Amino acid sequence: MDIVGYTDQELKYTHTPAFMHECDECATPLIDVTPTVIQYTGQKRQQVRIYLSNVTTNPVVIQPHAIICEIQPATVTDEVFEKIHEKRENIIEKLNIDEDNILKPNQKQH
């Protein structure tokens, strides 16, 4: 499940990659936060998407203004960008489009 959250502080870092992860002071200990890399703008009240999983079968309520994760500035190396580029190329090479099964213009939904 994903929810929209907001940063609660303005930091000196501007437009930098950041690592968002679960924090020790998490207001809801029964929820796991999926670690995510985001683009942090340094602004207070920046909107961020938070991916959660409930580790129980019980319903969990997240109170307004609850602290559920923290953000740490990060650096993305050239090696990471190269791996991402390689993976994209591999995916494109593996695509197989069946030209006999392409929809005609009158079959497409608008």
**Is the overall model pTM greater than 0.75, yes or no?**
no
Instruction: Encode the chain (110 residues) as per-residue pLDDT tens digits.
Output: 888 998 888 877 778 888 899 888 887 778 888 999 898 888 888 899 999 887 788 888 888 888 889 988 888 788 877 888 888 888 778 877 777 777 777 777 76
- The pLDDT, as a whole number, for residue 62 is 86
Does residue 16 form part of some domain? yes
Report the domain count for the chain.
Answer: 1
Helix ranges restricted to H, 18-109: 78-94
Query: Bridge-partner residues for 71, per DSSP?
Result: 20
Does residue 107 form part of some domain? no
- The pLDDT, as a whole number, for residue 49 is 92
Does residue 32 form part of some domain? yes
Does residue 75 form part of some domain? yes
- The pLDDT, as a whole number, for residue 72 is 87
Does residue 106 form part of some domain? no
Does residue 53 form part of some domain? yes
CB 16 within 8 A of CB 67: no
Expressed as residue numbers, the domain containing 67 is 2-96
